[in-house]
Structure 1
Amino acid sequence: MTLRTNFVAALALATVFSGTAYADGSVNIYTYRQPELIQPVLDAFTAETGIKTQVLFLDKGLEERIAAEGQNSPADVIMTVDIARLTKAKEAGITQALDDQTVNALLPEEYRDPEGHWFGLTKRARVVYVSKDRVKDTAITYADLADPKWKGKLCMRSGQHDYNLALISAAIAHWGPEKTEEWLKGLKANLGRKPDGGDRPQAGAIVAGQCDIAIGNTYYVGLMRTNEKDPKEKEWGNAINVLFPTFENGKTHVNISGIALARNAPNRDNAVKLIQFLASHKAQQVYAEKNFEYPVEPGLEPSEMVKSFGTLDADTLPLAEIASHRKEASEMVDRVGLDDGPSS
């Protein structure tokens, strides 16, 4: 795009931000997360610092938009979920490194980019939903998901979805590619139907008797069990138990929600203050509780709802290492034909 086009785009975003994009005392947030999920913690930030927040939500194309805006981009920070999206933002050249002692002291190394381009704020586990009525198992490993005892009883969303690619990437990091590919073949053989839908509909498939177990994220269980607007989803959430599968190290794969400092942040100082605040004890508890996630800071307790899922012993494998296997994982999913379903 031309400089003039970039300038016009920046002016348009300034309008979106009510004319405060470059004003003192504000910070502009581009996010893939639904605004209602982040607003409580942003309100707490404003209450503590007096700095106003302006949010632009996009369901796709965030990286491309910031890149097109170039040096005139109003974006100060990027908030998103999944290690893949955070690393994609870094690879797109729309983030900048931040070496901040306050943030580094609060957030464990495995949940930070080694070069300081992104920071994990909350974590969620990739677990197994099981039928309360038909499954009596109380423990399971990731390797067990390929056991023929589950033939025709496993449901999952697309293997190409970011959440599953992260899990498969973690498997590659733990087991190597050959064992992981054999494991994927076992998963495919155990499918009760073609991979489809999101994580919550997998719980619905369990209730419908299409499968007995499913792969999903922990926070969806909280969202289902507290969904007063959709009794169907509440029924799904209450009909399943959560098992925390493990690798050979006895730990469960986790992913994150995170934040990155935008490359051309016009309100950089305020953006850094936001990142520092979101890394804090207070903010992590507010943010994690609202979203049924786990705080990243060691020792912080999750909400009572999240505790009810069971005990999480999170894998300490650096997320940057997991992200490095993403392309290999995606190619493996296609090679095995996982998304084609069990009969292909």
Structure 2
Amino acid sequence: MNRALLALALTSVALPAVAEEVNIYSHRQPELIQPLLDAFTAETGITTNVAFVDKGMAERLVAEGDRSPADLVLTVDIARLTQIVEAGVTQSVQSDVLEANIPADLRDANDHWFGLTSRARIIYAHKDRVADGEVTTYEDLVSDKWKGRICSRSGTNDYNVALLSAVIAHKGAEGAKAWAEGLKANLARKPDGGDRDQVKAIWAGECDIAIGNTYYMGAMLASEEQKEWAESVRIVFPTFEGGGTHLNISGVAMTKSAPNKDAALKLMEWLSSDAAQKIYAETNNEYPVKPGVERSALVAGWGEFTPDTVSLTDVAGHRGEALKIMEEINFDG
């Protein structure tokens, strides 16, 4: 080898490898996903960068276009996932790993979004003031017996809009409007705060039952201040008449512009793995989507339930109608 070629070879060896990274726009609070990302980086050496985008994610991605630095979007609601897909800012992802790990009903038929965890929209009931079996269905919530006894967060909150969307899927728009009006009539107070605030209100005696997501129970039990609230209630898994318990998901989609596509796919696949699903289960008190991955002991202790069979795509398709109903009846007024 002549001197020029030798110098070039030595220079090539000395150059450091370009570090891989994944840029994430997340609807989820960074602290909820950081344990997962830290584990991914430790295993793969791929760096992750997270930007928390609470509102207007689809609009932001549209405005950024091909210049967007985002590789992946993490969301907490099926409607938000489908909104981003419908905005034309995602791409189809073909992966045997994702197909094997995530059930077909928890991923997009065209491979634009993939569910990573699920959570049930349940009822928190006071342990003493509400008897076992006193409320078993979502339809029970509009019974006169609950007048002045229900607390709720805003009717336009994503989780409540998704629940009403599922009601539309079961009962049609008119039936869902009647249900929402009945729920409003039974409220003990004007909708306010988040799911944990409703449990606090039950503990304080302002109401007896409230609608919330399962994983908030785990978060409250881990808080010195909120543990007493959580211990005042029990979880009830209501069903629709002729159906099951309403589920929603957290999920992931790859952006159309993804500048780090290969690394982003590695993260998507890793998030569906046994290791990541176990971290989700233990850290966030959510239900793993990959079959065979056990729930945490705490979550398993909440009991069994039958998920509703209405597809998440159908639920997301009714979002506009549901939001219109909540605004028409002035649920928060």
Do the two structures share a fold, i.e. TM-score over 0.5?
A: yes
Residue 146 of structure 1 corresponds to which residue in structure 2? 142
2:25 is paired with a residue whose SS is strand
Matched position secondary structure for 1:116? coil
Work out which of the two has the higher radius of gyration on C-alpha atoms and give 1 or 2. Answer: 2
The 5 A counterparts of 1:47-58 are 47-58=42-53
**RMSD of aligned residue pairs (Cα, Å):** 1.5
Give the aligned partner of residue 222 of structure 1: 218
1:89 match: 84
Whether the 8 Å CA contact 1:84–1:323 is kept in 2: the answer is yes
CA contact (8 A) 2:138 2:239 kept: yes
- 2:180 pairs with one of 169, 175, 184: 184
Cα deviation for residue 250 of structure 1 reads: 4.6
Q: Determine the C-alpha separation between the residues in 1 that align with 2:38 and 2:145.
A: 49
Paired residue secondary structure (1:339): coil
Letter of the 2:46 partner, please give it: I
Matches within 5 A, 1:135-214: 135-138=130-133, 140-214=136-210
Identity in percent: 56
Match of 1:76 in 2: 71
Whether contact under 8 Å (1:82, 1:256) holds in the other structure is yes
The answer to whether the 8 A contact 1:156-1:196 is kept is yes
Q: Is the 8 A contact 1:285 1:295 kept in 2?
A: yes
Post-superposition offset of 1:248: 2.6
Report the CA distance between 1:145 and its aligned residue: 0.7
Q: Which residue of 2 aligns with 1:263?
A: 256
Correspondence for 2:103: 108
Distance between the aligned counterparts of 2:315 and 2:82, measured in 1?
11
- The equivalent residue for 2:33 is 38
| Residue of structure 1 equivalent to 2:125 | 130
In the alignment, what sits opposite 1:18?
none
Residue of structure 2 equivalent to 1:306: 299
3-state DSSP of counterpart to 2:259: coil
Match of 1:319 in 2: 312
Report the alpha carbon displacement of residue 44 of structure 1 after superposing the two structures with TM: 1.9
Rate the CA distance shift 1:334–1:163 in 2: closer, same or farther, 3 A.
same
Measure, in 1, the Cα distance between the counterparts of 2:209 and 2:175: 22
How many residues are paired up?
315
Picking from 117, 121, 124, the partner of 2:116 is 121
Q: Which residue of 1 aligns with 2:5?
A: none
| In 2: Cα distance, 1:29 partner to 1:316 partner | 31
Measured after TM superposition, the shift of residue 192 of structure 1 is 0.9
**Gap runs ≥5 in structure 1:** 1-22
| Residue 241 (structure 1) aligned to one of 234, 247, 257 | 234
Deviation at 1:24, TM superposition (A): 4.3
Write out per-residue CA displacement over residues 213-255 of structure 1, whole angstroms, 9 at most, x where no aligned residue.
Answer: 0011111111111113xx1x22111111110000134521011
1:279 aligns with 2:249: no
Unaligned 5+ segments in structure 2 are 1-17
